[in-house]
Amino acid sequence: MKTTKVLATGIIFGLALSGIFSILDFDTIYGGFIGAILVGIITGRLVDDGPIRHAFISISTYNLIAFAMLALFDPNAKIVWGCGNRAVVGVFVGFTIIMIVFYSIIGSFSAFVAYNMRSDK
């Protein structure tokens, strides 16, 4: 499948999972693990070459979008942005970046496994 279609599929599927987990009031960390694994599997099944790169890019993109929406619309995050303390904002942004990279690594590994386990390569 073409690169743009794989990336778009991974991003949209990841955002849909993030929204579903948010509506169901599922824990953010476990929902991120599950979402990264599922998006990695979907990407590993769809891509023709380079599943790790495609999974990493799509997972980081949808997580960046999801965390930005969380920071804009969540009342608890508005407290962090409005506190005026740069250290608190720095810790929040640092945590977000670390989680995006961590989820991307997990999803890339699941894409690698799904790509190697498919029978039609």
Q: What pLDDT, on the 0 to 100 scale, is given for residue 121?
A: 55
Q: Using an 8 Å Cβ cutoff, are 46 and 9 in contact?
A: yes
Residue predicted with more confidence, 90 or 84 = 90
Q: Using an 8 Å Cβ cutoff, are 31 and 21 in contact?
A: yes
Categorize the per-residue pLDDT at 113 as very low, low, confident or very high, splitting at 50, 70 and 90. Answer: very high
Question: DSSP string covering 36-48, please?
Answer: HHHHHHHHHHH-S
Lowest mean pLDDT among 57-61, 73-77, 94-98, 100-104: 73-77
> pTM for this one?
0.82
Mean pLDDT, rounded, of the chain: 84
The answer to whether residue 82 scores a pLDDT higher than 90 is: no
Amino acid symbol at 10 = G
